[in-house]
Structure 1
Amino acid sequence: MKKFTVIGAALLVSIGSSAIAQTTVVLPGEVRTYVLEQNTPSVTYEGEIVVGSPLPEVVEVHPIPDQPDFAYAIVNNKRVIVNPKTHTVVEVLQ
């Protein structure tokens, strides 16, 4: 019985780490550099900005040239990289 419990636990750990690895997004360095250099005004948002959660559609996101998979917004004076199709927060820079 212990053998099955150990195998089951190992399987759950490996499945869990696979799921985490699949949600990690590797940003090209030029995406961060571009976003940090922009002088876009900040918008105020009363909710919490959380990686993996979408920003509301009313928050305007700005495209990043030559990077169709990424856009950015400046929200509550924080630079936020998002998926332009879903508005999902990919990374918070400040």
Structure 2
Amino acid sequence: MHKIMMAAAAVLTISSAAFAQSTVIVTDPAATGSVVLPGEVRTYVMEQNTPSVVYDGDIVVGTTLPDTVEVHTVPNVDGYAYTVVNNRRVIVEPQTHRVIQVLE
């Protein structure tokens, strides 16, 4: 029985580590739920060499960036776009430009 419990714990630990590498859960305190950000979105955005734009305002989750801020879609993943504002990489909703995560 002890060996079965240890094997189950090992499987759960390995599964949790694999899950943590592929998915980031972003909790928006202004919303009633949370947004699941696929790991490949973060990886793609962090690898891009995108020039930063200047924005006079706070860059926080829930902020809607003006239409004058150019956003770039993430290939092969619907529902996510990004930009670099004040030298910070920001994930936004493509249609609304609403910030859903600020990458650090």
| CA RMSD, Structure 1 to Structure 2 (Å) | 1.7
Corresponding residue number in structure 2 for 1:40: 50
Corresponding residue number in structure 2 for 1:23: 33
Pair 1:92-2:102 in alignment? yes
Q: 5+ unaligned residues in a row in structure 2: which ranges?
A: 1-28
Q: What letter is aligned with 1:58?
A: T
State how 1:77-88 maps to structure 2 within 5 Å. Answer: 77-88=87-98
Corresponding residue number in structure 2 for 1:71: 81
Cα 1:49–1:20 change in 2 (3 A) is closer
Cα 1:65–1:24 change in 2 (3 A) is same
Structure ranking higher on relative contact order (CA contacts 8 Å, 6+ apart): 1
Q: What letter is aligned with 1:37?
A: E
Deviation at residue 21 of structure 1 after TM alignment = 7.2
Distance 2:62 2:48 in 1: 23
Normalising by the residue count of structure 2, what TM-score does the alignment of the two structures yield? 0.68
The runs of at least 4 consecutive aligned structure 1 residues that moved more than 2 Å come to 19-23
The number of residues matched between the two structures is 76
Report percent identity of matched pairs.
62
Corresponding residue number in structure 1 for 2:59: 49
Q: 5+ unaligned residues in a row in structure 1: which ranges?
A: 1-18
Normalising by the residue count of structure 1, what TM-score does the alignment of the two structures yield? 0.75
